[in-house]
Homo-oligomer: A and B are copies of this chain.
Amino acid sequence: MIVLGIDPGTAALGWGLVDRTGGSLRLIDAGCLETSPSLGLPDRLLAIHRFLADLISRHEPDMVAVERLFFSRNAQTAFAVGQARGVVLLAAAEAGRTIREATPNEVKLAVTGSGSADKEQVGRMVAICLGLKDPPRPDDAADALAVAIWAANSERSDGPVATGSAVMDRAAVAPMARGESSYDRAVREALARDRKAGARS
C-alpha cells in the first residue's frame, strides 16, 4: 500500500510517499514544494494542484493523508493554510483516492507517542520508522512523512478505520497478536531510549 502524506501550505507544501508492505514501511520519495511569493495566490494554488495531480498519477497512492488543523495563532494563517488544503483535498478527490485527515497532535501521538512532540523528535521518529540514517529535510517533508506513516499504520489495525477525523492513539497501532512489526519495534525501542535519556537529564 502506497500512502501520500501532505503537510499543506501555500508557500511551502511538504509531501512524502511511503510504501507499506506487511508491517514494514519504506520511503519512496519526499520533499517540499515551494511556490514563489512573486506569484499571485491563484497561480500558487494552480502550481500546487498541478504538482499534486502529477504526483498522484505517477505514484498512484492508495491513500492521501492530509494534516487537519483546528487552531491557529491568527486567522490569516488559517485562511492561507485552508486555501492550500482545499486544493490538496480536491486533487485527491478528483483522482478518486481514499482520503485520511488527522490533526498534528494525532500524528505526533501515533509517531512519537506524545501529542506535544517537537519537530526534532518527529523527524527522528520518522527516520527510525523508515530506516533512514538522518531525519528527512526540510521539516515540512518530515511532517508530511509523519502524516503518511500515521495513515499507513492506522490502516493496518484490524478494527474498522473511521473516515475523516479518526482519532488514533498508540493503542490502535500497538503490536498485533501475531508479532511485533519492525515499525512497532522501532517505536518501542526509540521510546525506551527517550525515556532513558529523559531519566538521565
Which residues of A are interface residues toward B (Cβ below 8 A)? Answer: 40-43, 45-46, 49, 69-72, 75-76, 78-87, 89-90, 92-94, 99, 101, 163-164
Question: Are A93 and B163 interface neighbours, CB within 8 A?
Answer: no
The oligomer's copy count stands at 2
Residues on B with C-beta less than 8 A from A69 are 75, 79
Q: Across chains A and B, which 6 residue pairs bring their CB atoms closest together, nearest first?
A: A82-B82, A83-B86, A86-B86, A78-B78, A42-B93, A79-B82
Residues on B with C-beta less than 8 A from A76 are 70
Further 20 A-B residue pairs, CB within 8 A, beyond A69-B79, A71-B75: A40-B163, A41-B89, A41-B101, A42-B89, A42-B92, A42-B93, A42-B99, A69-B75, A72-B75, A72-B79, A75-B75, A78-B78, A79-B79, A79-B85, A80-B82, A82-B82, A82-B83, A83-B86, A84-B86, A87-B87
Q: Chain B's nearest CB lies how many Å from the CB of A38?
A: 12
Question: Are A45 and B83 interface neighbours, CB within 8 A?
Answer: no
Most chain B CB neighbours (cut-off 10 Å) among A42, A49, A72, A89 = A42
Residues on B with C-beta less than 8 A from A164 are 40-41
| Closest partner residue, chain B, to A68 (CB atom) | B79
Bound CA span A78–B72, Å: 9
Residues on B with C-beta less than 8 A from A87 are 86-87, 90
